[in-house]
Every structure is written in structure tokens, then in C-alpha cells.
Amino acid sequence: MIEQVKEHVKGLLASGKIAGFLGLRNDAGVVTPFLFKQEEQLDSSFSLGETESQGTMRYPMAKLALHLIQNCDDDSTYGVLVRGCDERALNELKRWNQLGNPDRIVQVGVACTLGLAEEHECRKPFPDEFVAGEKVDPQTNNSVQQVLAKDLDSRLAFWSAEFDRCIKCYGCRNICPVCFCNVCTLEEDALIKTGNIPPENPMFHLTRAVHMAGRCIDCNLCTEACPAEIPLRTLYKRVAEIIADEFSYVTGATGEGKSPLNILGSDPGHTAAND
Amino acid sequence: MKKLIEFYGIDPERLSLKWVSSAEGPRFAKVITEFVDKIREIGPSPLRPKVLMEAVSVEKAS
Amino acid sequence: MKNSAQDDVRVGVFICDCGSNIAGYLEMKELVEFAKTLPNVAFVQENLYTCSEGGINEIKVAIPRENLNRVVVASCTPRTHEPLFMSACEEAGLNPYLFEMANIRDQCSWVHMREREAGTNRAKVQIAMAVAKAAKLRELNRIQLSLSHRAMVIGGGVAGMSAALALANMGYEVDLVEKRDRLGGILNDLNMILPTHEPPDKLVNNLVGRLQDHPKVAIHTGAVVTKTEGYVGNYVATIQHNDTENKIKCGAVIVAIGAQPLKPEGLYNYDGNKVITHIELESKLKLGDVQAKNISIIQCVGSRSKERTYCSRICCMTAVKNAILFKEASPDTKITIFYRDMQMYGVENEELFRKSKRLGVRYVTYDPDRPPRFDGESVSVYHLRMGRDMIVPTDLLVLSTPLVAQDDASEISTMLKVPINENGFFLEGHVKLKPLDFATDGVYLCGNARFPSTIREAISQGLGAASRAAGVLSKEALFTSGIVADINPDTCCGCLGCVAVCPYGAINFIENRGVCQVNKVLCKGCGGCAATCPSGSARLDGFSNQQIYAQIEQAMAV
């Protein structure tokens, strides 16, 4: 299946449709993101992120694509390797007006294996269009329901114990494909006091959760990246659910819509806040 | 916000967001008085350090 | 001018007794002593009235003498007094934005009149908050703008004409834009004006004549405003007349587009012939085209209903007026008015109402749940007092329908970025404090566009709106407030959240740089953008996060 992707990308490069392909390469056993510009590079080191099996090594390809688009000097078009989660992230970035001209990104889709989908309990383990892999069943993640099953005091004790392990490495933010701000509220001294580990509970994590509203596309990269194994995904997943309930805004969906900040601005009659 | 803090384990009644115009003095007083009364009824915040420490130690022990 | 960026912040605190308004209910000596203990406070003074000439002078003297670089006044409401104290600072050479106010009268002594200790403690907190914020204040500058001294009035009815003429008489050039081919608006359709007993044509012709002869007035009939750009003092409007477009510059805009009578399609077999609206009756009367002997008038047709909850205000007076005219012309005519409540406000109208009764006009009240019915020959209605149906033979049925918003009201609202209410009438800045202004500077409002009004009300509103507009036009230059938002272009991600939230349309997305930018002239300093911005790139000068956090810290600490 890696060959199918390679051939597809080679075709894109050869036709001049894309100036480069943002994918992954295996460099002596280390899988890292790489911008392929020549067909030969694909032959020597192209990877689908396999260490044990396909995709085990995941990177926030949407975020990397955003940086590439924003920082390259010309307005070339680039190919990007996307899974289901990456596609949702790109959709979301587009709705937050981050991608400029979205036509500059050509998605090269790959469907994930069942094993990977199960591991991350992925709600849609394939992009809308893909050149390799097979559609496997969507998986469900019940972590939100598990927390909701607890009473208030148990929830507080649960989260406090989790947050207490935080070493404030910002890994959750740095890996997040939809964290696009140039300056981060989590680094504002006046709001989150510096010099505390764990960071002030619950200010640090709830602040980040609020900023995930209308953004989190449930890719599970944060939880995967967290060295303290805090189930951050559960928190942000709940935030996404709240926004979906209140504003009928589904993160990661395709379409021309705008971010939920625009829902508040354009409809003064909305009274959810007046409660 | 109410739903978020509820998920975190804080009584959502501890948060209130109301629009009160500067022309609505009596309503403002009413809203604040009611909220203060409600908070008195609910009692001290579980986020106060002492209360929280106890809860966490119980969770860690369990 | 002192350098306020220096680290040694010296705050002067002036605590006002407000006669006994504050001193009568709070421990002033305690407040003074408390203020002295606060960080950065270099000087504290109690005044009998800080806003009096003496009090103001004390601020002006203390600033250089005590080397103060921040001033806090703990007194009354900034709404009325902040500008005064700010200018005192300015006159003493201090940037006026290095001033902060604590409202210990309205918010402490008045509301805690019977709680001396609690009120005093609260005043302490508020003074501490003001001082903490003052210490973090930075110099801000107002922007000076040139302006056009020309005005544009949209709508050539009686309100718009009155406004235009008043402005012209004050010496300002005026463009009066009317979409119809002649000036006069709804007055052209009316028969007679009470209480003057004059045909409206006389009023219209008089106004039109004076406008036409006025060298300062440019009348554009059969023309519409298709576009406006700019802001207070500097609007550019595009006026379309047939196929030609004209751009004019103006400093202020008056909205006087009027309203239109509701056509009650489907109600009471309305046909415009035997069943007509009261405005159609006026037109018929004008032509002398009414022969009916049994006339019924039904009030509140299509208004005060689920669909249109409002009262149109003018229909009761109109019905009474026309009933009197009929009776005076031919006492045999039988006239019955079916009503819910008669609104004849003011002594004159009340007298008209009585006169109509003396002349024999019959009034029958009806229950909105059991409205009158018309079968083509007679009106039958459930009589609330008799407890049974009453039948009134009718050969002309007049329906008092409300005035409703013009069809282009929402278009004009969008164009000028001013609000309309759920019924399509324009919404003033404040129902009591700013009745003829919009929240947006430079745009004003009068006549039926605002709400159904009588001719006299429309004229006074026209004159009022002209006066408000002249307040801007008469200035040699405009100054914006220093308290405006700013978006840091280095950190803005261009997510457009602020653009959507700004109620004044003051934020633009700069496509080629991918960032949002505030137009400081349009910005009103509401802070919506600063609260929305996920990255903290939008901030409100004079209300920075640091300043607000400093206040919150004090509120929680004391």
C-alpha cells in the first residue's frame, strides 16, 4: 500500500501540480515529517509512519502543513499526507481562516488500519478520499461518559488528581493540530502564574479547554503526547460536545462555515449565554 | 462554561452569567442578591485548598 | 508633561464628601487613612465637593506640587464627571488617560446607606481597585480628524424636510434625498391636519418652497442612497438617480425614511373600495369621494397582535379626527368606532375625543379575542357590556391599520450599520438619554422611521435630529477617544472572531497580511474584540488585561 501512495505522489510531483509533498520519512529507523521535493527521495526513505505497523508514529500533519503554507516564500501548492484526523484538522483550520487559499493544499489521503483506529478509538479513521488503505469501522471513545457517570465530588477528585501530575511541558498544546495562535494565553503571566509545577489547578487546564471549544477534532494526539498520561482528550472531547449541543457546530466538518466565534457575533438573539 | 465546570466537578450553579443593562439597577441588585444567597446555601467552594487536598488524598488512596 | 513610563508611580487620591451624599454615610477619615497605606499612593486629600471649582483647582495644584503622575478621584459616577476630572488633569499637564475613578457614591454610600461599616469597607475595596489600576495606566492619545460640514438627510417627508431646513438655516449644506418623485412623504396622502384645520398641502408646500429656494439645500428626488462609506465627520455616500450615480461627502447622516400604512390583505374582506384603510380614507376625503352614510371604523387592525405587538400611536387620533370631519360636514352620518383602548394623550386630543362624542360619534369597545366581523352589509360585534352581539349597518368600513416599517428599512440599516428592532423600526441609542441618536456617532434619526408619530412630533424630532447633527457639523475638528482597541499585527492569526463580534464594523481583515486591524475612528472601545481574541492580540487601551487583573486582585484581597 505504501507503493500506491508513492506512485500517486510521484505523479503529482511529475505533473507539476505540487511543488513538494509533506509526508513522513524513515531515516535510519527514526520516523520524522519531511518535505519531499524529488521523486528519488520518495524511493529512498518514504514512510507511512510505521515502527511496528502502519501509522504508529503520528504527527500533526495539518499543523505542519499550516506552518509550511505560512512560512514558504512563494504561493506554491503542496501535497500533504492526511489521515482522517488530519483531514478534520485541516477542515477546522480552514473554518478558522488559517489556510488562506485552501487550494494550496492537495490532500493525499490514507485510511488507517483497524489496529490504529482501535488504539485511538477514532471516530472516522479515513479521510473522505484516499489513495491507499481500506475503510475500517469507526470506533467510539466512551471516556466522556465514564466521567459523566461519576458524581460531582468524584469528578473533581478525579481531575484534580490527574492535573496534579502535570509537569507544564506544553506538549498538549505543541502537538495540537488546531492550536494556531502565535501567542498563547497559557503563557500569560497575569493569568497563569509562572514558577508553579503543577500549574495552578484548574486554571491551566480549564483555560486550555476553553480555547479548544469549537476547535478540538478528537485526534488523541494530546493524550498520546502527554508524559504524565493525563486524559486530556476526554476533557476537550467534552468541550466539543458542548459546542455541538449549544451551537450545532461540529468540529472537523467540511464546508464553507466559519468558526463558532462568528455564530455569537452574527446572531444577537442567541441567549445561551444569558443563563 | 457551566457544562465545562460541571464536567470538571464543580456545581454549575456556582457560575452565573446574566446580561444586565446599566439602566436596570433594581434587576442588577436582585441578580446579585439571589446569586449571593444561592452561593451561601451551596457553601464553600470545593476548590479552596483545604477542601481540595482532602478530596485528592482520598482519590489517591483509593 | 510628565513622563508616565517611569517606574516611580505617584498616585494622588482625591476623596469626595459630595456634601453629605458620601460623607453622611461613610467614615471619610478611615477612607483617607486607608488610601494612604496603598502602594504607590503619594498624596491623599478629602474634598467637600471635588467637582466644584475649588476641588478641581486642588487637583490642578496638587499634580505639580506633589509631583503626581496618576490621579484617582473617589466620588460619583464617571458617566457625568469623568470628562471634568480628565480635563483637570490635562490642564495640569498630565495625560488625561492617567486618571481613574472610583464610584463610592452610587455604588457605596447610596446603596449601603444603612450599613455604615460595610459601605465603608466596600469603598476601601473600590479605592484600592482604582489605585491598582491607576498604577498600571499608560498615556493614551486622541486622534484628531478633519470633517465635512455637509449633511445628508435620507427621506423627504415632514421630518426629513424639517431637519434639512433647520440644518440649512444653521448654515450647513444639506443633501436631501427622497426616493419618490416629490417631497412630502405620507403627508401627500392626507386630507386635513388637526388641530390646525389646515390641509397638509399647505404645510408641505411651505416646506418645499423654502427648501427649493434655499441656496444651501440640494434636493434629490427620485433618488436613493445606494452606499455609504466612512465614519462620523467623513462619510461618502453614493446617490443613485435613474442611471446616474453621484458621490457626496458629508459629516452627518439623518435617517428620516418614514413608514408605510399596512395593507390589511385578507382582513375584513379588505378591497380598497368598500373596505379601506384610514390612510385610503384620507385620500378619498381629499378628492371629496366619500358618500357613505353609515361608516364603521375598526381600530387596532393588524396591530397589538401576536404578529405586531406594538401600538401604532396615531390611529386613535386619526379616527377621531375623521369622525369629527364627517359629523361636521353632515350630522346625519352615522359613525361607529370599534376600539380596544382609545389613546388620546394630551389635553388637546382629550378635548377632540369629547367633542366627537358631543357630535354623536358612537364608541363600542371590543374584546381582541372576539373581534368585530363584517359580512359586506353590517359589522357585528360581541358587546362586552350587553353580553350579546350588536349589529351595525355599514356602507363604508374603515380599518385603522398600523404604520409599518418601510420595505428598505433593513437595507438602510445594513448600509449605515445602525440597528432596527423586531418590527423594522430604527432603534435609537437610548430610549431616554439618546432618543434621536444611534449608538454610532454621526447618524441620527427622526420621524416615523423611528416609530409612528404625529406631524408635530415628526417636526420636533426633525429639528432635534438636526440639532444633534449640528453638534458634530459645527466642530472644527473631531477627536476620537483614546480608549480604543488595538490588534497586534505580529501576533494576530486572522481567525476573524473579532470581526464578527464588533458591533460597530470597526475591524477589517487585511487580506494580504492575514491579520485584522481596528479602525480607531469607528471603534467605541467596547472591548468585545479583546474578550473574544483567543491569542490576546486584540486589546483595549485603558482596559488592558494587566489593568483589569490588578483590579480583580484588589477586589479579592481586601
Q: What DSSP assignment string belongs to C358-373?
A: HTT-EEEE--TTS--E
Do residue A104 and residue A173 come from a single domain?
A: no
Instruction: Assign domain C11-140 to a CATH class.
Output: alpha beta
Tally of CA atoms within 13 A in the half-sphere of C406 that contains its CB? 23
Give which of C46, C49, C55, C60 is closest to C13, Cα–Cα: C46
pLDDT higher than 80, residue A272: no
Q: What is the mean pLDDT of residues A212-234?
A: 92
Chains A & C: contacts with CB separation below 8 Å: 61
Answer yes or no: are the C-beta atoms of A14 and A39 closer than 8 Å.
Answer: yes
Residue A275 in any domain: the answer is no
Q: What is the mean pLDDT of residues C50-65?
A: 94
Q: Which residues of C touch A (CB under 8 A)?
A: 490-497, 499-502, 509, 514, 532, 534-537, 545-546, 549
pLDDT bracket for residue A265 (50, 70, 90): very low
Best mean pLDDT range from A122-126, A251-255, C391-395, C411-415: C391-395
Instruction: Assign domain C481-541 to a CATH class.
Output: alpha beta
Candidate from B5, B11, B55 with C-beta closest to A157: B55
pLDDT higher than 50, residue C121: yes
pLDDT bracket for residue B62 (50, 70, 90): low
Provide the number of structural domains found in chain B. 1
In this structure, how many other beta carbons lie within 10 angstroms of the beta carbon of residue C270? 21
Q: What is the pLDDT of residues C327-371, one digit of tens each?
A: 999 999 999 999 999 999 999 999 999 999 999 999 999 999 999
Give which of A131, A123, A146 is closest to A12, Cα–Cα: A131
pLDDT higher than 80, residue C516: yes
Answer yes or no: are the C-beta atoms of A112 and A55 closer than 8 Å.
Answer: yes
Q: Please name the amino acid found at residue A174.
A: N
Is B58–A159 a contact, with Cβ atoms under 8 angstroms apart?
no
The ipTM (two decimal places) reads: 0.78
Q: What is the mean pLDDT of residues A119-128?
A: 89
pLDDT the model gives residue A75: 82
pLDDT the model gives residue C340: 96
Provide the number of structural domains found in chain A. 2
Q: What is the mean pLDDT of residues C367-376?
A: 94
For chain C, the distance separating the N- and C-terminal CA atoms, rounded to the nearest angstrom, is 34
Give which of A48, A33, A41 is closest to A1, Cα–Cα: A48
Q: How far, in whole angstroms, is CA A195 from its chain's centroid?
A: 29
pLDDT bracket for residue C48 (50, 70, 90): very high
Residue A129 in any domain: the answer is no
The Cα–Cα gap between C269 and C261 comes to: 17
Q: Please name the amino acid found at residue C486.
A: D
Question: What single string gives the DSSP state of each residue in C315-364?
Answer: HHHHHHHHHHHHHHH-TT-EEEEEES-----SHHHHHHHHHHHHTT-EEE
pLDDT higher than 60, residue A275: no
As its CATH architecture, domain C261-403 has 3-Layer(bba) Sandwich (3.50)
Contact partners, residue B45, CB within 8 Å, separation at least 6: B10, B14, B51
Give which of C203, C204, C199 is closest to C183, Cα–Cα: C204
C545-557 and C116-135 are packed helices; what angle lies between their axes, rounded to 10 degrees?
150
Helix (H) or strand (E) segment spanning residue C53 = helix C53-65
pLDDT higher than 60, residue C184: yes
Shortest distance between the Cα of C512 and any Cα of chain A, in A, equals 9
pLDDT higher than 70, residue C188: yes
pLDDT bracket for residue C5 (50, 70, 90): very low
Question: Does residue C176 or residue C80 have the better pLDDT?
Answer: C176
Percent of chain C residues topping a pLDDT of 70: 99
Answer yes or no: are the C-beta atoms of C256 and C154 closer than 8 Å.
Answer: yes
**Of the listed ranges A220-224, C11-15, C554-558, the one predicted with least confidence:** C554-558
The Cα–Cα gap between C453 and C476 comes to: 34
Do residue A198 and residue A257 come from a single domain?
A: yes
Indicate the average pLDDT of chain C.
Answer: 92
Last residue of a domain, one of A80, A104, A119: A119
Q: What is the mean pLDDT of residues A39-54?
A: 74
Q: What is the pLDDT of residues B4-55, one digit of tens each?
A: 888 988 889 999 988 887 667 788 889 999 999 999 998 888 877 666 666 6
Contact partners, residue C537, CB within 8 Å, separation at least 6: A182, A183, C487, C488, C491, C492, C493
Q: How many residues does chain C have?
A: 558
Residue with cell 467614615: C27
Is A153–B11 a contact, with Cβ atoms under 8 angstroms apart?
no
Residue with cell 486642588: C58
Taking the domain C151-258+406-473, which CATH number applies? 3.50.50.60
Do residue A88 and residue A180 come from a single domain?
A: no
Candidate from B4, B6, B58 with C-beta closest to A209: B4
pLDDT bracket for residue C295 (50, 70, 90): very high
**Domain range list for chain C:** 11-140, 151-258+406-473, 261-403, 481-541
Question: Does residue A94 or residue C398 have the better pLDDT?
Answer: C398
The Cα–Cα gap between C289 and C285 comes to: 6
pLDDT higher than 50, residue C4: no
In this structure, how many other beta carbons lie within 10 angstroms of the beta carbon of residue C440? 21
Q: What is the mean pLDDT of residues C398-425?
A: 92
Q: Please name the amino acid found at residue C259.
A: A
- Joined grid coordinates for residue C428: 435609537
Interface of A with B in 58-87 (CB under 8 A): none
Domain span holding position A220:
143-266
